[in-house]
């Protein structure tokens, strides 16, 4: 099995979210909304929502692996800029509204660039007048 086939097999077996723990966290944004391309905004909004309930999540900016498909080019993978939340061994991805274990999120091969507390992220967003990235 070549590297591509191994990746595709792992992608098909990837957990779709750890729903049994989702009822215990307060960061989830359950409203129906267009989430694509809004990871920085939604991650910060989620962190603030959780902080209001005294639940502290870190806002993480970095990269993850994206799998796409087109009829002309087939399956392709690339690293894309992304934002998510982390708290202990849990990761919340606001774009998909899914909670993962660190191991489960590993299928996306996350590469962390910067990590902020909810308060730090909010202050930087206020200072630079955008959701991120590139605050510093």
Is there a domain that residue 80 lies in?
yes
Count of domains observed in the chain: 1
Domain that holds residue 52: 3-128
CA angle 35, 13, 109 (to 5 degrees): 60
Is there a domain that residue 134 lies in?
no
Is there a domain that residue 136 lies in?
no
116/32 Cα distance (integer angstroms): 26
Each residue of 46-80: pLDDT tens digit?
Answer: 999 898 888 899 999 999 998 887 788 888 889 99
Is there a domain that residue 47 lies in?
yes
Each residue of 119-135: pLDDT tens digit?
Answer: 999 999 989 999 999 87
Block residue for tokens 């990269």: 63
Amino acid 46: pLDDT: 92
Which range among 2-6, 34-38, 46-50, 99-103 shows the weakest confidence by mean pLDDT? 2-6
CA 55 to chain CA centroid, nearest Å? 17
The four Cα atoms 86, 43, 68, 14 give a dihedral, to 10 degrees, of 30
Q: What are phi and psi of 106, to 5 degrees?
A: -60, -20
């Amino acid at each position: 099995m070549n590297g591509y086939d191994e990746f595709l097999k792992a992608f098909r077996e990837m957990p779709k979210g750890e729903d049994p723990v989702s009822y215990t966290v307060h960061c989830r944004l359950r409203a129906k909304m267009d989430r694509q391309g809004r990871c920085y905004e939604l991650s910060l909004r989620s962190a603030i929502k959780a902080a209001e309930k005294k639940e502290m999540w870190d806002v993480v900016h970095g990269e993850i692996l994206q799998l796409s498909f087109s009829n002309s080019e087939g399956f392709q993978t690339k690293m894309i800029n992304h934002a998510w939340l982390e708290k202990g061994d849990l990761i919340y991805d606001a774009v998909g509204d899914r909670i993962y274990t660190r191991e489960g999120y590993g299928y996306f091969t996350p590469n962390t660039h910067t990590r902020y507390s909810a308060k730090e992220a909010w202050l930087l967003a206020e200072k630079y007048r955008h959701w991120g990235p590139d605050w510093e």
